[in-house]
Chains A and B, each alone.
Chain A
Amino acid sequence: GQQLNQSPQSMFIQEGEDVSMNCTSSSIFNTWLWYKQDPGEGPVLLIALYKAGELTSNGRLTAQFGITRKDSFLNISASIPSDVGIYFCAGFIQGAQKLVFGQGTRLTINP
């Protein structure tokens, strides 16, 4: 079945640093989504990407849909304490309807 490989699995950074994480797949997706999940809560949508090569920003977050449609990355600039959490990439295939998720990247920020 489809699998997304997300890396790194965890990151420990200092406040103010930039963060980069990525997702790769053996399958082609129509849409890439990035979610953030806090402990005990559901995933919250951060960014949606619809076209190969698309670069989209949401505040300090920037994400790109890879040219091959098999990968995506998420950058967070100037990290702040509230960025702590688990970030998930998810791929969507038109017709299949379900989202396929990566394993998550756990971000920890040292003040």
Chain B
Amino acid sequence: DTGVSQNPRHKITKRGQNVTFRCDPISEHNRLYWYRQTLGQGPEFLTYFQNEAQLEKSRLLSDRFSAERPKGSFSTLEIQRTEQGDSAMYLCASSLAGTGGIQYFGAGTRLSVL
């Protein structure tokens, strides 16, 4: 399977704990994006990388959120001191620069903060 892969698919945690999600993009794609989706809404942009450089961060990305893409391949999204409001589906997407905005999404990680 050469699509975007996300792990874990589901994460249940207690408020105050730290969580980390992983995304493996399509192998030749140099751009990687993180989105958050809450129930009944469309995905909302969080941040994106071109290769290993993080080029844009949304105001939705509070100081408790950090994303990395250390070698320009896989990416991790960490949430520190989780809050109940962080419960959502976290989606990763990847694209190839110059393809006019087409982004391919993974299956997502659903986070539940108790």
Contact = CB atoms under 8 A, between A and B. Distances in A.
Interface string A98-111: 11111110000000
Contacts of A40: 107-108, 110
Contacts of B42: 4, 6, 88, 90, 101-104
Among B105, B106, B108, the one with the most A-chain Cβ atoms within 10 Å of its Cβ is B105
Given A33-B102, A99-B103, A42 B108 contact: yes
Given A97-B31, A101-B42, A103-B41, A33 B101 contact: yes
Interface stretch (B43-51, B68-76, B77-85): B43-51
Contacts of B108: 40-42
Contact of B43 (A30, A48, A92, A99): A99
State which size class the interface on B falls in.
20 to 34
B47 to A, nearest CB: 9
Nearest to B100: A31
A44 interface: yes
Interface of B: 4, 6, 31, 33, 35, 40-45, 48, 55-56, 58, 91, 93, 100-108, 110
Contact of B45 (A41, A100, A103): A100
A11 B106 CA distance: 26
Interface of A: 4, 6, 30-31, 33, 35, 40-45, 48, 50, 88, 90, 92, 94, 97-104
Contacts of A6: 42
Nearest to A29: B101
A33 B104 CA distance: 11
B104 to A, nearest CB: 7
